[in-house]
């Protein structure tokens, strides 16, 4: 069975009762990652074989950085994946390529897989600049990294799709994923290899069929629909049923 990656990003939401709801998460052979806020990392109990993720990490190693949580701490909290470069970090917290590059280096040094988010704004989309914006986000970041021998995950999240209910057409998503793949070829000499390309933005039980129909997309990054276990379970079931149909 092909293994897809289904990632829940709770953002600044959730509490002990959502952790308790997640005890009802569906069993699947696909890889499931749940990224709660930091303070719930130790409370969230996931089935064996599922993974804890973090939504953010400090760009600095442990030291005097008030308010930050470092990669080493995440490792000790059993975190296996970490989101980097989310558009909310870029826009609201003014984080830059330099921040993201240093986060990625630190994560990889603790064997935590970065999920690198890229995506264009509505203005760039309307100007048909999506492809060039995403390419530049990715190449400017990867070119700052030293050679690394670890796969990364790239999540394509058009900003105009996040929380809006709007989803790009399959053709558009394929054009972006093709570009991401060709872009990654340029970094093979640095041993930067992409493991999977995910799609994120308004993924829910009504829109999942678009993502499922695209062979180039190997999973999803889910915001709002991960805040109710019934909705998140429906996404897991969609991927499981897809496998049953294709085998
Ligand atoms: P929504 O699924 O709520 O659109 O959020 C997507 C997202 O930003 C996941 O990182």
Q: Which helix (H) or strand (E) holds 114?
A: strand 113-118
Ligand 1: which of 7, 8, 10, 11 to mutate, judged by most atoms within 8 Å of the beta carbon? 11
**Nearest atom within ligand 1 for CA of residue 87:** 8
pLDDT tens string for the chain (247 positions)? 558 999 999 999 999 999 999 999 999 999 999 999 999 999 999 999 999 999 999 999 999 999 999 999 999 999 999 999 999 999 999 999 999 999 999 999 999 999 999 999 999 999 999 999 999 999 999 999 888 778 899 999 999 999 999 999 999 999 999 999 999 888 887 888 888 999 999 999 999 999 999 998 999 999 999 999 999 999 999 998 876 554 3
Q: Say how many Å lie between the CA of residue 100 and the centre of ligand 1.
A: 19
What residues are annotated to the active site? 86, 157
| Rounded distance between C-alpha atoms, residue 247 and residue 228, angstroms | 30
Taking the centre of ligand 1 as the mean of its atom positions, its distance from the CA of residue 219, in whole angstroms, is: 13
Ligand 1 neighbour 154 (Cβ under 6 A): no
Task: Indicate yes or no: pTM above 0.85.
Answer: yes
Burial category of 35 from C-beta neighbours within 10 Å (exposed 0-12, middle 13-18, buried 19 and up): buried
């Amino acid at each position: 069975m092909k293994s897809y990656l289904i990632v829940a990003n709770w953002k600044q939401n959730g509490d002990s009762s959502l952790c308790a709801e997640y005890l009802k998460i569906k069993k699947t052979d696909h890889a499931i990652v749940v990224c709660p806020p930091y303070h719930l990392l130790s409370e969230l109990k996931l089935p064996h074989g599922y993974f804890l993720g973090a939504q953010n990490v400090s760009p600095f190693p442990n030291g005097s950085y008030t308010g930050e949580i470092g990669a080493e701490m995440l490792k000790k909290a059993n975190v296996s994946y970490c989101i980097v470069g989310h558009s909310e970090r870029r826009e609201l917290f003014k984080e830059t390529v330099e921040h993201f590059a240093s986060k990625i280096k630190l994560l990889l040094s603790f064997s935590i897989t970065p999920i690198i988010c890229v995506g264009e704004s509505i203005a760039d989309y309307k100007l048909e600049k999506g492809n060039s914006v995403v390419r530049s986000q990715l190449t400017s970041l990867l070119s700052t990294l030293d050679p690394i021998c670890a796969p990364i995950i790239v999540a394509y999240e058009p900003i105009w799709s996040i929380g809006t209910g709007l989803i790009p057409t399959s053709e558009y998503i394929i054009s972006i994923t093709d570009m991401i793949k060709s872009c990654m070829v340029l970094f093979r000499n640095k041993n930067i290899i992409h493991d999977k390309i995910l799609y994120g933005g308004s993924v829910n039980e009504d829109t999942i069929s678009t993502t499922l129909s695209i062979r180039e997309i190997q999973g999803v990054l889910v915001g709002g629909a991960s805040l109710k276990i019934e909705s998140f379970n429906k996404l897991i079931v969609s991927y499981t049923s897809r496998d049953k149909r294709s085998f």
